[in-house]
Each structure stands twice: as C-alpha cells, then as structure tokens.
Amino acid sequence: MPPISDKNTPVRFADPLPDAADVVVIGAGVAGTATAYFLAQRGQKVVLCEKGRVAGEQSSRNWGWIRQQARDLAELPIMIEANRIWQGLAAETGEADLTFTQGGCLYLATTKAEMARYEAWLDRAKDYQLDTKLLSPADLRALYPGLPGTYTGGMYTASDGRGEPFAAVPALARAAQRLGVAVIEDCAVRTLDVTGGRVSGVVTEKGRVSCNAVVLAAGAWTTHFASNVGIDVPQLAVRCTVARTEAAPHLFANQPDVPNIRDVGFCLRRRADGGYTLATGTHADHYLSRKSFRYASKFIKAMGASWRDIRLHAGAPAGYPGAWGMPSRWSGDEASPFEKTRVLNPKPTAAEVRRLEDRMAKRYPALAGVKLAEAWAGMIDVTPDVVPTLGEDPMLPGMFICTGLSGHGFGIGPAIGRVMADMVVGRDPGHDVTRFRAERFRDGSPILPGPYL
C-alpha cells in the first residue's frame, strides 16, 4: 500500500447513505474516524462522511510518531490515554495494521539552552509519572554508539512509540464499520441544516441526513466549512514535506530498536517496511489567504516562537484550503470546494527533499548510499495556541468541533476520539478540556502557545 492517497486511489468505503443518524462525523482522518469508532461503542448510529479518501490527507502523511514526550501539559493526560489505547487497538479490533511499536522517543540537544527547555518541561510534567529521563553526553555515547555530532544531552521516553498512519486509520475505519458505522468516501458534506437554532441534519452531495449532532473533524478544511455556517474557528494551514527511504540498515547495533529521533533539522522514525520516515522538522510553508490576515493578531505569539521555520507565499495554488479563488459561501444545492478537491496532494518542497538527502548520510553514516523512495507533503491544521479545538460550539448547539491537532494528531488521535465521543453523548470526558474549548479565541482569554520543543 502506498504511504499516501490521491484522487486516483480506489474507493474502499462505500456504505449506503442513510436518511437519519444520531451523529454525522465530517472528515475521516484519525480524529474523525476514532470519534466515529467510540461513538458506535456507545450505541450511537453514526455516519462518517469523507469528501475524498479515508486518511487521504494529513492523517496518512504525518511522521507516524506516538509521542507523550514534550506535549503541552493540558494535552498530556489525553496523550497518556492515547498511548494505552494504541497498545490495545490491534487486539481489540483484530486489525494487525493498528499495531503499536514501542521503540521510544529521543530528542537531542545541541545547546545548553535547548537542554534547559527539556529540563523545564520534564520538571513541569513530573506529576504525570512518565518514564521520561534526561540523558547526558556520556549516556548518549553509551546508548547510541556512532551517533555523530556533538550533543549537550537529550531527553528520552521509552514508552513512546510509532505506528503506520497510511495503514492504521483505514484499519480503524474498518473496525468502526463492523460496529455499525456507515463509512462513505466521495461524500462531501456541503453544509448543515439548522432548526430552532440547533443542528438538525447535514446536506451532503449524495443527499440529506437528519441527525442530532455533527462532529466537524475536517482538518485544514474545518475553518472554511465552519465559516460557511456562520461559525468562527480560528485556524491556518501550513504545508510540510516528508520522505521515506528504501530499506535501510539498523542504526545502533547495541539497541533492539531505533527510537523516533528528533535532531536539529533532521527527524526520523523506523518503518515497518524496513526504511525510515524522514523530515527536517524545521520548515513549513504558509500560503497567505483572507484568513491569514483575519487571524494575524491571534497568531502573533505562535509565529514569534516559530518564525524561522515558516516560509510565506503570496497565495495558494487552486484547490488548496483558502486559495484566493475559493468561495467563502455556498449552499447545499451547489457543489462545494470540498468536492472540487477530493484529496489535497500538495507537492513536496524540492529544497526540503534535497536537505533530507544531504543530511541523511551526514547525520547517520550507516545511511550513506540509501535512496529516498518517495517524498510527499501534507497540509497541517494549526490553531493560534498550537493545541486542538475540541467540544461543542456554544454559538450552534449540536455542532462539535474537533480540529487543530497542529501536526501531532496521529498519536493522540484515538484518545481525542474517545473524548469527543463522550462529549457528544453528554458524558464526562474524563479530562480537563478547558484549554481546548471552542470559544477560547473569542472570549478574551489570553492565547498561550504550547511548548515549542
């Protein structure tokens, strides 16, 4: 199976569209699919609508890390739960593609300031009793012989791991189907039906579905769908480039596995196919749009922390979220922008691919001569504080927002789905989700971006 989908990928999910359901989930990425799965476990009749392909966009294009380390502290309890869910998903569902590999996560530091940030995060996270530990230069030399470069230390969490995004999310969709979820690709939801000030249904390109609640989990498209129904969801999108290698050697002879590694300008994880997924982690492209200017003041702090990594472009190509020619309003009777871009398949940044090829051999001599098998890009949905927006929007009862996973959604996705499912059915989500509430960007609350590690 290829790591990514495009518009030519065959349809795999084509259940009939029912006339009515309890909940319609818009978007079959990891968060939407997990939400549908857990809603079905709670006895809800669920329709999962996907404009293109299950996990066709960012949910199959990410690094595949399942990481507790360096999380925002409000996210951390949810991520700890996600780690537990991942460990049992394959057995629970019978889907081998949901395998969790516990290989650990290693962050390397090249400066004392960087190491101080790791120390500060670990001090704040100590109440969660993770197995995270700080590593000295001597520890690194002993644990990872042959690791090139001069490091001031590192941070390592043994219980972290990895999965295969392009395989895992469709596997979770199959498990949801077996619980009764109708999963439908090539089925864009155009807009909502609202009766008496609350959600009463959705209008899809295939027809109307009556429902009591909607979960909007459309990734980079979420803010545009919400705007069309009069709801403000501050969010922008950035394009990031990723690549994979052909089968490649094990890096450390004295270690049973290769951890997820984050170094300055070079990140990798071991893949089930024997290669590595690579990214620089230090470059993102943002295409200016109307929303860029509308939300500029809300993103000042996040931009201040990451300005070196962002490249601004005058306008997005046609078909991208927020492209200048994209309409801002449409009705349920006309084709929406979501139908016009079934699967957004951005081109990778050529300079990033060259950097990966160059740095691979320099950082890890064992990889000298290994070729890149493929490079791709994905559009990441980012909120002003770089943590998700989760919960019912008070402006429109029955509309639940699940977006802004900000590039680290694959790992936390299963627990996000569990939390969303419980919020939809009126249960206690089991975590303090105040930081993620939908109205935080319009109620005067200070915008506090998560840790930039």
pLDDT, tens digit, 9 for 90 and up, residues 379-427: 999 999 999 999 999 999 999 999 999 888 999 999 999 999 999 999 9
Mean pLDDT throughout 242-259? 95
- Give the domain ranges of the chain: 23-104+159-441, 105-158
Mean pLDDT throughout 48-67? 97
pLDDT at 267: 97
148 has pLDDT over 90? no
Rounded-to-integer distance, Cα 320 and Cα 337, Å? 9
Mean pLDDT throughout 65-73? 97
pLDDT at 5: 73
Q: pTM of the predicted model, to two decimals?
A: 0.97
pLDDT at 307: 76
What would the pLDDT profile of 85-130 be if each residue is shown by its tens digit? Answer: 999 999 999 999 999 999 999 999 999 999 999 999 999 999 999 9
> Could you give the dihedral angle defined by the CA atoms of residues 409, 312, 348 and 169, in that order, rounded to the nearest 10 degrees?
20
DSSP per position, 163-208: --HHHHHHHHHHHHHHTT-EEESS--EEEEEEETTEEEEEEETTEE
What would the pLDDT profile of 335-350 be if each residue is shown by its tens digit? Answer: 999 999 999 999 999 9
Rounded-to-integer distance, Cα 201 and Cα 19, Å? 10
Q: What are the φ/ψ torsions at residue 155 (nearest 5 degrees)?
A: -135, 135
> Which residue's structure tokens are 């380390």?
69
Would you call 75 helix, strand, or coil by DSSP?
coil
pLDDT at 3: 57
Q: Running DSSP on this structure, what letter comes out for residue 255? A: S
Q: What are the φ/ψ torsions at residue 413 (nearest 5 degrees)?
A: -50, -45
Would you call 250 helix, strand, or coil by DSSP?
coil
261 has pLDDT over 70? yes
Mean pLDDT throughout 281-309? 91
pLDDT at 1: 42
Mean pLDDT throughout 146-159? 92
> Could you give the dihedral angle defined by the CA atoms of residues 60, 64, 70 and 75, in that order, rounded to the nearest 10 degrees?
50
Q: In the predicted model, what is the mean pLDDT of the chain?
A: 95
* CATH class of the region 23-104+159-441: alpha beta
- CA-to-CA separations, 91 to 31, 36, 86, 88, in angstroms, rounded: 20, 19, 10, 6
pLDDT at 12: 96
What would the pLDDT profile of 8-51 be if each residue is shown by its tens digit? Answer: 899 999 999 999 999 999 999 999 999 999 999 999 999 999 99
DSSP per position, 371-393: PEEEEEEEEEEE-TTSS-EEEE-
Can you read off the two tokens belonging to residue 239?
Answer: 């394009």
